Amino acid sequence: MDYSTDFQIKELLHQQTYLSNGELKSWKGKKDEVYSTISSSEEYKPTLLGSVPHMDEATAVEVLDFACDAYGKGQGIWPTMKVADRIECMEKFVSLMKPKRAEVVKLLMWEIGKSLPDSEKEFDRTIEYINDTIEDYKQLDRNSAKFSKRDGVNAHIRRGPLGVVLCLGPYNYPLNETFALLIPALIMGNTVIFKPAKHGVLLISPLLEAFRDSFPKGAVNVIYGRGREVAAPIMKSGRIDVLALIGNSKSAIALQDQHPHKNRLRLVLGLEAKNPAIILPDADLDLTIDECISGTLSFNGQRCTALKIIYIHEDIQEEFNKRFAARVDTLKLGNPWEEGAKLTPLPEPDKPQYIQDLIKDAQEKGASILNKKGGEITDNFIFPAVLFPVTHEMRVYKEEQFGPVIPLKPFNDIQELLNEISNSNYGQQISLFGSDINELAPLIDTLVNLVCRVNLNSSCQRGPDVFPFTGRKDSAVGTLSVHDALRSFSIRTFVASKDNAYNNEILKKLLESKTSNFVSTEYIL
């Protein structure tokens, strides 16, 4: 089916407002034009999609004031609201978000070049994530609807918000991964300032009214602009309690360094990775090649969970290399809405040249391109290059490429390989391919201590979202999953009293009167 007509840009989207203190406020200042690298004409030319506010420091600090006022030193409407009422707000947001699916999916395709099936999956997965978060929060509240007693002390233990959260999402999953930060931070009672990514910024526009209409004023605020001009001054104020960021570790460090009170600042970070695959001699090559194609080239390799280096045992390297390279060349390149398109335009205009530089560096240091189409470059794409053999000196070995180039490295000593993985700055995931349990068992027992997820005969991935998503070393701080994220954005807090008649009578009156939203044993069904 040809969707090209359905998905053409018929009118530009000029986002002229930002969400602050429960209002969509008009922006009269400088604007940033938003372009897609997808061309809508026969002669290549980036497509103008619209524009967004280029906000300044003064406006960003004003938004921060409103977020702090909404938290109100813990006295605000949102942080003190009953759990059931916060859930009701979130359910309203979901109901208002669902009708925006077609608009968001279309913008996902144009802004970041994500294929139609993957764009639809991202939207649907985000709805599912919010619903699962609501259900997990209900269970969390049920588990807290009680008193504990120990050594003559009664305690009513719940989880409370941390304060004001600055939320910065990534361009590769600008809806799903951003909301994996935003939604749990919000539902736990924090107030949030959210800045969309540079690519994938317009797709938030259809949701602004839903945010405004679903939550109390100041609970969620949306700003636009460059990080150094709006995020840095917000951090410099020292009034941010949580930095929630999915992106690059350099950006995370730069923002942390702006904060004057390091011990006050909580971090929830999903950062880069250089996830390897290890292919043992007895691996099922049909299965392994399928998984490695998916792992290296889903969304053109622009995922932190992508396989970014493949280690192949020397005994099978010749057959694997030949078959793998041939499979890469069969992948269809096309626009996101074209049926069967597995490779799509790259959203960053300078990315094809960067990938070409990596390829050239590797070739100069002894690597060859194994596939015939590898390295073919156009205005908005470079065809995936399978590079072999890759060595430590090459940039593609050291850098997280975040794009369509696949380094292959041979090995024969598993201990040397384990040392290499241990010495990496990253520790998110690994894919392990093989079948002999006597070989696999000791490897699994070691690898679980080096990374946070070992994928057995499977490519690396984030989901399902109920599973923990985190990393060691420079790959993450905190854990993001439906269950863990609620804990990452909250802290255990409780009311305690000595077990005597005087205190117990007061507690009894508190519970019966229902005057406290915290001291409550009401059970949410």
pTM: 0.96
* Arithmetic mean of pLDDT, 84-97: 98
pLDDT at 6 over 90: no
Please name which of 482, 56, 522, 361 lies closest in space to residue 64, comparing C-alpha atoms. Answer: 56
Between CA 358 and CA 377 the distance in angstroms is 13
Between CA 335 and CA 128 the distance in angstroms is 27
Q: How far is CA 313 from the centre of its chain?
A: 32
pLDDT at 3 over 70: no
Confidence of residue 407 (pLDDT cuts 50, 70, 90): very high
Between CA 39 and CA 376 the distance in angstroms is 18
pLDDT in tens, 294-325: 999 999 999 999 999 999 999 999 999 999 99
Angle, vertex CA 291, rays to CA 289 and CA 292, nearest 5: 65
Confidence of residue 525 (pLDDT cuts 50, 70, 90): confident
CA–CA distances in Å: residue 55 to residues 16, 177, 194, 212, 254: 11, 23, 13, 19, 20
Between CA 359 and CA 386 the distance in angstroms is 9
Q: Please name every residue paired with 269 in a beta bridge, in sequence order, or none if there are none.
A: 245, 477
For residue 305, with 0-12 CB atoms within 10 Å meaning exposed, 13-18 middle and 19 or more buried, which class applies? Answer: buried
Q: Please name every residue paired with 167 in a beta bridge, in sequence order, or none if there are none.
A: 194, 244
E strands, 21-163, in order = 23-26, 31-39, 46-53, 148-150, 153-161
Decide the pairing of beta strands 153-161 and 266-270.
unpaired
**Region class of 151: left (phi > 0), else alpha (psi between -120 and 50), else beta:** left
CA–CA distances in Å: residue 254 to residues 54, 201, 257, 261, 405: 21, 22, 5, 14, 28
Sequence-ordered list of residues with C-beta below 8 angstroms from that of 438, at least 6 positions apart, any chain? none
Of all residues in the chain, the percent with pLDDT exceeding 70 is: 99
Confidence of residue 2 (pLDDT cuts 50, 70, 90): very low
To 10 degrees, the CA torsion angle through 81, 87, 93, 94? 170
| Contact by Cβ (8 Å): 244, 181 | yes
Mean model confidence pLDDT for the chain: 97
pLDDT at 4: 61
pLDDT at 497: 97
pLDDT in tens, 253-271: 999 999 999 999 999 999 9
**Do you find a cis peptide bond into 410, omega within 30 degrees of 0?**
no
| Contact by Cβ (8 Å): 271, 476 | yes
Confidence of residue 42 (pLDDT cuts 50, 70, 90): confident
Between CA 284 and CA 499 the distance in angstroms is 64
SS3 call for 3: coil
* Arithmetic mean of pLDDT, 53-67: 98
pLDDT at 1: 39
**Do you find a cis peptide bond into 464, omega within 30 degrees of 0?**
yes
Of all residues in the chain, the percent with pLDDT exceeding 90 is: 98
How many of the other CB atoms lie within 10 Å of CB of 460?
27
